[in-house]
Amino acid sequence: MFDPEVDFVETQEYREGIDWAVMHAPELAERYSSNNITADELRTYLWKVAGQAYPSKRGDMENDIRQTIWVAGAIRRIIDTLPFNLKSMSEVFDIAMDIGSAYGAEKWKYVHFLTLKDKDASWWRKKKGAASPNDVVGVLANAWWRKFSKEKGGGKTSKWEVLIDTLGTREMSAMASLKDIEYREDGQYKSYIVEGDDVDFQVMASPVYDMSSGRMILVQGMGDIVG
């Protein structure tokens, strides 16, 4: 299991990213000359290679974090060795900054996710105010099916996959430190306020539709995070 407490520059994944960049330095220099490199182009290429080294697994965050660390290692080596001009170097540093921010968010999301994984079945079923954690997962699952099921080829999902795909670091933290779930109703808008330690989020408990040109249009979907 990946240990989030370890400094990422000391990890095997970071070293592997560096080693890959060393081995592929001639290819990288040819592919991304100092005159035509763009952050999006290089970022896309590196994430593709990282995904091959550490394929993402549904309902699990470990390899996603490993991908981020691998890319960080590759970028570190690329910055040190490739002959960029000022503009291209700026582009590469933008990638490095993005990766640093992404890793910080992923790390803490993963820490909170592991906390949730340790909760027993009774915790998920017990109401915390107006609803239970399972009730929140239920509305999030509705959003998951609308937003993610097609790109993942449909089929069954899991509680863990729903949480990973629909929640950010803030929301995962609120779930992991859950204190209360408040039900709020304002006209058509019905939502849950999920309150944790010093953090909360608001998620739609039911969909909202509006009539437009004789058709019912979805305005806000069940499971959408709105605050």
Do residues 183 and 143 share a domain? Answer: yes
Judgement on whether residues 72 and 104 belong to the same structural domain of the protein: yes
Residue 2, domain member (yes or no)? no
Q: Are residues 12 and 98 in the same domain?
A: yes
Number of domains in the chain: 2
3-state SS track over 94-122:
HHHHHHHHHHHHHHHHHHHHHHHHCCCHH
Containing structural domain, residue 92: 8-117
Q: pLDDT tens across 175-187, in order?
A: 999 999 999 998 8
**Chain mean pLDDT for the chain:** 88
Percent of the chain with pLDDT over 90: 60
- Residue-level pLDDT at 77: 86
pTM, entire model = 0.86
Average pLDDT over residues 45-50: 93
